[in-house]
Every structure is written in structure tokens, then in C-alpha cells.
Structure 1
Amino acid sequence: MLTYIAHNTAREIHSARQVIFHDILTLDSVHNQLTWHPGNIVIPLNDAQKRFFNCLLMKVTSKQQIISIVWNERAYGISDNNYHQLLFQSRALLKRHKLPDGLLVTIPYHGVRLNEDLLLSSAKAYS
């Protein structure tokens, strides 16, 4: 059953053209960009970052599922180091574009999630 869910989730993530979080954050998979609407900030993404943020916005939090989706057919040759490097680079990318620290939260022994409460409260601060 878990494999079935993972395959369906991967298919949905790879086919999603745009994912919107409460009109605050939009992932545009066609143009490889993440837009934070309260600050009118557009962040260019590489393909791995695009798939990573797509996972988070679609509530995929498991490290193994994220690795499988982000690196797709090459997932078996990907180490934990690749995952941690992507996470580090994604945090740095958000920081460079002045988004609040703590948007990506590590879940010990599981993976990572998007800090939705922080996103919502940060957006209200811009209002």
C-alpha cells in the first residue's frame, strides 16, 4: 500500500504545473520558480529544488519519498548526503531571498516539512 501511495504521489508531483499555498506561496513548475506573494519575491529554482518544494507543498515529508521523487529514476544511486545538501541549499536559497528562517523544519528520523504556521504568520506581518 505504501508503495502505491508513493507512486501516485510521485506521479502527481511530476505532473503538477502549479501548487499554491494559501495565496502566500506559489510553485510554478513550468517556469521553475517559487513566488512568495506578501513580499512579491520570485525565487528561481533548479529542477531538484523545484521537485523538493513540490514535495513539501504536497505534504510529502519522508526523506526516502523525497529522494525517490526528487531524483526519480536515479534515486537508488543517491546518498543521504545528496538529500542533506539539497536541504542545506534550499534553506540558503530562502535566506538569500529574505524569507523567514525556519521555513524548512527537520523531522528527526523522518525527513522535513514546510513550517506552514510560520508562513501564515509571516504573511500577516506584511499585511
Structure 2
Amino acid sequence: QRQLIPPMRVIGRRSTDYRSLSDPSVIQAMHYIRNNACKGIKVEQVLDAIGISRSNLEKRFKEEVGETIHTVIHSEKLEKARSLLVSTTLSINEISQICGYPSLQYFYSVFKKEYDVTPKEYRDRHSEVMM
């Protein structure tokens, strides 16, 4: 007898969220940001990697993505931090460093401002691993 077992949860593939983008420069910028956000990159490094002017890429990026390059870099770092908080037993300080934050205090303030909870509170509520 066959039995259908529903999934416990679905993990979205982040590689598919470029499908709605059509501008090759914006797609290239998004890939660069996704691969380098936690290395402490700034908008200037994205521009250097893509090879077009700031005003040109910022305009195209805003039209395609709906956010600024800086905002997307910031979001990528926070998303990586959230992922590590729930899927690893790394210390919050290690996660802060991996995600390119200059200090643990700064990471806490940015995280709390964005999610209205501290990284520890977030981990306690959403952790997928036994601590």
C-alpha cells in the first residue's frame, strides 16, 4: 500500500529568484552581491565588478529589484545570519564575524532593528538544531 507523506517544510532555492530579472547587469550585480555580501563589500565593489557607472547601475537596479544596491547587500548579510542562527550551533559572535559585521554589538543592533528581536531570541524561537 502506498502512503503519501507530506513534507515537514519547504526550503526555497534562492537561485530561482533571479528569474523575474531581465537586465543582465542587474543579474550580474545580484550574483556578485549574493556571493560577496558577507565579505564586507560596499556598493563601489559591486560597481567595479560590473563595470558600469554608479548612476546607471543604481537606476537599473532600483527599476528591476525595487531596492537600492546598498539595501540588498544589507539584506543578504542579514539573511545569511538568520540562516546560520537557525541551522548551526555556531556562536552568535562567530556568525557576526562570518557575516561581515565589524562588532558583535553592531550586529545585535542591526538585527534587532530589522527583526525586532535579538539574534539570541531569534535562534531560541526558530532553531532547527539541538543546542
Normalising by the smaller structure, the TM-score range is 0.3 to 0.5
Q: What's the TM-score once normalised by structure 2's chain length?
A: 0.38
Larger Rg: 2
Q: Which has the larger strand fraction?
A: 1
